[in-house]
Structure 1
Amino acid sequence: MSDIKPRILPLPRAEWTDDAREVFAFWGEPNAWEEGSKTNIISVMGNHPPLGKAYNAWSKHLLMENTLSTRFLELIILRVAWRVKSFYEWHNHVGYGLNAGLTLEEIAAIRDYPKGGAWSEVDKVVLRSVDELIDDGNLSDATWDTLGKFFDKHQKMHLIFSIGHYVMTSWVLAVMGVQIEGGADQIGFDLKTKSGKIPGKTYKPGETEDWVDTRGY
C-alpha cells in the first residue's frame, strides 16, 4: 500500500469560489457544489479552477465518450497504472475494470504482462502499445499495422491520447501527492484490499443511481 506525502492539499473551504465549486460539481457528485467533492483529485484541482475545468472536460471525454470499448480502455489504464506505479489510478480502476468484464485473474495478468494471461491478438497489441509508448515514446510500425487490423482511425487516435492522458494524470497524482480517499478500502498492486475483502465492481459517474456508494467513501 502507498504512503504518499501531499504537496498540494485540497482547496480549503474558506477559498472556495463559484469557479472552484464548478470543478467540484462537474461529475454530478451529490451535494458537491455545497459540500465539495469527496474525490481527492477533484478537490485538489479546485486550487486552479481554469485548469480544473479543462481537465474535467477532457477527462470526461476520454472516460465516457471514448470510441474504444470500455474493456480496452481499462486494459490501457490498468497497464499504465502498473507501469508508472500509480496506486491511485490502480485502486480506482480495478473496480471499473471488473465492471467492464475483466476478472481479477485478468487484471493480475495485465500487471504481469507479457507473462501469463490468455490474451487475444488485439488484447496483446493494446497492452504492447502502452509499453512501447512509455518505453520508446512511439509505436513500432509492426504495432501500428496490427492496431489497424482491429481499430479504425478514430479508435487509434483515442488509444494514443488515452495512454498519454493516463500517464499524465499519474504524474500529476504522484507529484502533487494526491492520496487515496479516506474511507476507501485501498486495493494494492497485489489485488488485496486493506480490509482483506475481495475487490468488487465500481461504477463511473452517472452510470448507476448509486454510483457514488460503490466507491466506499
Structure 2
Amino acid sequence: MSAQPATAKSDFRISPIEPPYSNALSDTFVRVMPPGVAPLKLFRTMARNPRVLQRMFAGSFLDQGGITLRERELVILRTCFRCNCEYEWGVHVAFFSQKAALSKADVTATLENESHSLPDNEALILELVDQLHGQAQVTDELWTALARHYSDEQLLELIALTGYYHTISFIANAAGVQAEEYAPRFG
C-alpha cells in the first residue's frame, strides 16, 4: 500500500496556528515581530512544532553580523529566489528592502541572471549564492574574487546565511505557506 499525501482544509499543507496563543508563544511573537504586525504565517506554521520554531529563532542571522544589512538582504533574496520561495522573498522585500537601502533595481537584480546594476562585491555575493545553490561548492576563481572584498569571517557568514535560508525556503515551500497579503511577489 502506498502512502497517501496529506490533505488539508486549505491551500496550506500545514495550517498555521490561530489565536489565542499560549503566553510563551505570544511572548515569542512579540519579541520577533515589529509592533502592530501580526505573526508571520511561517512562524505560526512552525509553531506546530515549538522546538523547531525555537531552534529556528536561535539560529537566526537577523542580528548585527559581520556583513552589512544590504549584503545580508541580497544573500537572502537571491537564496529565496533560487529556491523558488516567493513567500520568504516577499517578506524580506516588505520588511527589509527599504532599511537595507535596496532600490527597485537592486531587488530586481536578485531575480535575474545578470547583476550588472550592482557593485562588483555585491554581484559576487549573488554569484556565491548561485554556486552554492547549484553545486554546493564555490570555484577557486570566485573564492579569490570574494576574498578581495571579504574576510574569512565574513565569507563564513555569507555561506551560513545562504544555507540557513535554504532551510527556511524548504520549510515555507514544503509546508505550503501562503503569501502574506502585504508581501510582493516575484512577477
Q: TM exceeds 0.5?
A: yes
Counterpart residue number, 2:31 = 26
Structure 1 counterpart of 2:13, which letter?
R
Counterpart residue number, 1:10 = 16
Counterpart residue number, 2:41 = 40
Counterpart residue number, 1:123 = 122
Counterpart residue number, 1:58 = 59
* Counterpart-to-counterpart distance in 2, 1:29 and 1:102: 20
* Counterpart-to-counterpart distance in 1, 2:19 and 2:107: 38
Structure 1 stretches lacking a partner, 5+ long: 191-217
Q: Residues 110 and 76 (structure 1 numbering): CA distance in 2 closer, same or farther, change over 3 Å? A: same
Structure 1 counterpart of 2:161, which letter?
S
1:93-104 counterparts in 2 under 5 A?
Answer: 93-95=92-94, 96-104=96-104
* Counterpart-to-counterpart distance in 1, 2:117 and 2:33: 38
1:147 deviates by 1.4
Structure 2 stretches lacking a partner, 5+ long: 1-9
Q: Deviations over 1:40-66 (max 9, x none)?
A: 11111221112211211212xx11222
* Counterpart-to-counterpart distance in 2, 1:45 and 1:107: 27
Alignment RMSD (CA, Å): 2.2
Q: Is the 8 A contact 2:18 2:44 kept in 1?
A: no
* Counterpart-to-counterpart distance in 2, 1:27 and 1:90: 18
Q: Deviations over 1:10-50 (max 9, x none)?
A: 22447x44443444333155589xxxx53111111221112
* Greater relative contact order (Cα < 8 A, sep 6+): 2
* Counterpart-to-counterpart distance in 2, 1:79 and 1:45: 23
* Counterpart-to-counterpart distance in 1, 2:81 and 2:52: 26
Q: Deviations over 1:58-92 (max 9, x none)?
A: 12xx1122211011111111111221111111211
Q: Deviations over 1:151-198 (max 9, x none)?
A: 1121111100000111110110011111223xx2341212xxxxxxxx
Q: Is the 8 A contact 1:20 1:48 kept in 2?
A: no
TM-score of the superposition, structure 2-length normalised? 0.83
User: Number of paired residues?
Assistant: 177
Deviating 4+ runs (over 6 angstroms):
none
* Counterpart-to-counterpart distance in 1, 2:82 and 2:70: 18
TM-score of the superposition, structure 1-length normalised? 0.73
Note if 1:142 corresponds to 2:141. yes
Q: Residues 105 and 30 (structure 1 numbering): CA distance in 2 closer, same or farther, change over 3 Å? A: closer
Counterpart residue number, 2:5 = none
**Identity over aligned residues, as a percent?**
24
Secondary structure at the counterpart of residue 74 of structure 2: helix
> Please, which of 163, 182, 186 is the counterpart of residue 185 of structure 1?
182
